[in-house]
Amino acid sequence: MIYLDYNATAPLREVAHAAMLNWLQQPSGNPSSIHRLGRNARQALDLARRQVAQLFAVHDSQVIFTSGGTEANHLALFTAMLQSQMQGHIVTTAVEHASLLAAAEGLQRRHELSVTRVLPERDGRITVEAVASALRPDTRLVSVMAANNETGVLHPIAAIARLCHERGILCHSDAVQLAGRLPVTLAQLGCDLLSVSAHKMGGCPGVGALLVGKGVAVEPLLAGGGQERGRRSGTENLPGIVAFGAVAHHLNEATITAESQRICLLQTQLEEAIRTNLPDCVVVGTETERLANTTLVVCDGLDGEALVMNLDLAGFAVSGGAACSSGKAGLSHVLSAMGMGESLARSAVRISLGWQTEPSHITALVAAFTKVVERLRPHHHRPMDK
Ligand SMILES: Cc1ncc(COP(=O)(O)O)c(C=O)c1O
């Protein structure tokens, strides 16, 4: 199986695997226990926290480990709005990940606050102007994702954060798809709250972090044992956190830059081949800045789900435009928000590359993709139809 679905999850990196295995093979305690095994566990936790902090150039105390991007997004929205007694206005976008959209909707349903979902341009990009024009005097939080999981389109977070700070508004960004793919620090992005997830970077699923700006107070979503400085209770997922630390340590500015340059060449290879072999297929978001690993292809008249299933049979793991946990293909809210018609949006196939992708994988995928598209084309006549 050739795996080209890194935006869903990335294969575990060797450094993460080794660190996790090493940790699991040792006798271990709870980092909150004061005996030796507890202290060892605390040391491992502190080291992983420092490694994650270093990747984003923040202080250790600015890292709150969570169960992943979903929880980090919920914690960000919850803590930001609790600061204004669950009142006021949130500005987010119509292209966010479901976890962010659901967190915002949950707050809206249960409290007296309102939410504006800014629409992207046709190319998928959220502009600073669109965010600015959605702001109101009672806006308390702006939450815009750094990179879209379906299209890979990058949004101008630093400029949005500046705009927020001029108006005294908190700024959050879901950087789950950006983290580890481009070298960025919290200061460069400029936001107050940043969500990241280990498994998109080659760590384990079920671990992530919310990075908090200096002086930003955090109210816990989960209370209890007071872990994470009282900001997120629950015994820490140490095997996962140790693996996350190892990945963060491996991914410094130089390694991320080298990997993203290598992947960018593969993306060019892929998209040029698609343009040559399948001139009526279109790559989404080419007019704007995108992640180097993400290629979303639409082929009018074809069924994205059928394309994905046929590619699966041919030995390739890719996704439809809107992967959802039920496994059923829904219509992508991202493509709809971009103004794409239903039939085109239904044809979307997302190919996302990563640390294990090789040029030969791209060559093989393009050959299989071309064959499958030819076979599934509505006007295709099989020999026996003649
Ligand atoms: C943009 C974005 N945000 C959040 C998440 C959720 O992260 P996790 O799977 O760690 O909960 C994902 C995962 O698909 C994502 O792509």
CATH of the domain at 127: 3.40.640.10
Residues 184 and 274 in one domain: no
**Which one of 250, 265, 297 terminates a domain?**
250
* Cβ partners under 8 Å of residue 375, min gap 6: 310
| Domain span holding position 29 | 14-250
How far is residue 284's CA from residue 263's CA, in Å, rounded to a whole number?
18
**Which one of 201, 216, 250 terminates a domain?**
250
Atom of ligand 1 nearest to the CA of 70: 11
How do residues 77-121 score in pLDDT, each as one tens digit? 999 999 889 999 999 999 999 999 999 999 999 988 999 999 999
Residues 288 and 363 in one domain: yes
Residues 332 and 241 in one domain: no
Write out the chain's pLDDT in tens, 386 residues: 999 999 999 999 999 999 999 999 999 999 999 999 999 999 999 999 999 999 999 999 999 999 999 999 999 999 999 988 999 999 999 999 999 999 999 999 998 899 999 999 999 999 999 999 999 999 999 999 999 999 999 999 999 999 999 999 999 999 999 999 999 999 999 999 999 999 999 999 999 999 999 999 999 999 999 999 999 999 999 999 999 999 999 999 999 999 999 999 999 999 999 999 999 999 999 999 999 999 999 999 999 999 999 999 999 999 997 655 445 557 899 999 999 999 999 999 999 999 999 999 999 999 999 999 999 987 654 555 44
Residues 242 and 269 in one domain: no
Residues 39 and 130 in one domain: yes
Residues 365 and 232 in one domain: no
The position carrying tokens 């070298």 is 183
Backbone angles phi, psi at 4, to 5 degrees: -135, 50
Residues 266 and 246 in one domain: no
Residues 312 and 229 in one domain: no
* Residue-level pLDDT at 168: 96
Q: How many residues does the chain have?
A: 386
Residues 186 and 223 in one domain: yes
* Residue-level pLDDT at 323: 52
Atom of ligand 1 nearest to the CA of 71: 11
Residues 134 and 36 in one domain: yes
Catalytic residues: 324
Average pLDDT, the chain: 95
For residues 94 and 339, is the Cβ–Cβ distance under 8 A? Answer: no
Tell me the percentage of the chain whose pLDDT exceeds 90: 93
* Residue-level pLDDT at 330: 72
* Residue-level pLDDT at 379: 61
Query: The pTM is what?
Result: 0.96
How far is residue 293's CA from residue 353's CA, in Å, rounded to a whole number?
5
Distance 152 CA to ligand 1 centre (A): 13
Residues 274 and 351 in one domain: yes
* Residue-level pLDDT at 325: 47
**Which one of 250, 266, 298 terminates a domain?**
250
Ligand 1 pocket at CB < 6 A:
68-70, 73, 97, 99, 145, 149, 174, 176-177, 197, 199, 208
Residues 63 and 85 in one domain: yes
* Residue-level pLDDT at 380: 52
* Residue-level pLDDT at 377: 86
* Residue-level pLDDT at 283: 97
Residue 355: CB atoms within 10 Å: 19
CATH number where 340 lies: 3.90.1150.10
What is the domain count for the chain? 2
